[in-house]
Amino acid sequence: MKPRVLVTRAEEDAAVFMAELEALGCTAVHVPLITRTLVTESTARLRRALVTAEVVLLTSAMAATAVARVWREPVRAPRFAAVGPATAKQAEQLGLPVDVIPDTATGRDLVKALGPLSGVRVLYPRAEVATSATTDALHRAGADLTDIVVYRNTAPPGLRRRLIEAGRVDIVTLFSGSSARRYARAARQTGTSAAPAVVIGPSTAKTAEAEALTVLAIASPHDRAGMLAAVQSALEL
């Protein structure tokens, strides 16, 4: 019997990964845990902040998308720093030249990779709900921080019903801390057994474990290709 892998990515992100899983010999089961929407009220403030920013932190592809919508290269361009290769790829495809990517895909490691930040004007466009780890690291580094909420990450309607209808799966794939949190809580609310997880990076692993999920593997590199390899290894395919 083919192993059943639960794909929790947003609708717009899932198709390629599901096709790759199917090519490995898995049955890909899609239950999106995330719906993302840009916060349009932040547009004017974001545009103003980009004019004076010396460093722009990009901790997700959605943050890169929000910045690219208003980016007009000034005379002195800021340094763009991406949390991992997937975010960097999205940013560069949108015309944002990334020159800093940490070895480990966490906000803390991204701040560390930037070097001295005392007095440096740092723009951090982020999700409405985000951990304080990145902002705490920036404050400790003495950065002159502008923190702007540029998108919301919410649960799709009917999530619990769709999880029940999905039935038994062998592995769940989790690409963010919010998806780990949402999956674990939905499983508890529906009385279903949470599947062991393959996760995108150490921050997601930490959140998953805090929610009592079993983490089988962490992707390396922290991108879709790394996730695919981690699933293949975990399932011994």
| Residue-wise pLDDT tens digits, 71-126 | 877 657 899 999 888 889 999 999 999 999 998 878 888 999 999 999 999 999 99
Same domain, 83 and 100: yes
Q: Distance between CA 87 and CA 176 in Å, rounded? A: 12
Q: At 112, which CATH number? A: 3.40.50.10090
Residue 106 pLDDT: 80
Same domain, 62 and 118: yes
Domain span at residue 161? 4-34+156-234
Closest CA relative to residue 46, chosen from 65, 29, 70, 23: 70
State if pTM tops 0.75: yes
41 with 149, same domain: the answer is yes
Which one of 124, 153, 182 terminates a domain?
Answer: 153
Torsions phi, psi for 29 (to 5 deg): -115, 120
Same domain, 132 and 207: no
- Among the candidates 102, 124, 153, a domain finishes at 153
Residues 68, 134: one domain?
yes
Same domain, 198 and 134: no
Q: Which of 153, 179, 197 is the last residue of a domain?
A: 153
- The owner of tokens 């001295």 is 116
Task: State how many domains the chain has.
Answer: 2
Tokens of 216: 């089988």
The Cα–Cα gap between 34 and 45 comes to 25
pLDDT at position 222: 82
| Claim to verify: residue 21 and residue 108 sit in the same structural domain | no
- Each residue's pLDDT expressed in tens, for the chain with a length of 237 residues: 899 999 999 888 899 999 999 999 999 999 999 888 999 999 999 999 999 999 999 998 899 999 999 987 765 789 999 988 888 999 999 999 999 999 887 888 899 999 999 999 999 999 887 778 899 999 999 999 999 999 998 889 899 999 999 999 999 999 988 899 999 999 999 988 899 999 998 889 999 999 999 999 999 888 889 999 999 999 987
Question: Both 9 and 47 in a single domain?
Answer: no
Same domain for 128 and 89: yes
Point out which residues pair with 154 in neighbouring strands. Answer: 35
Same domain, 67 and 142: yes
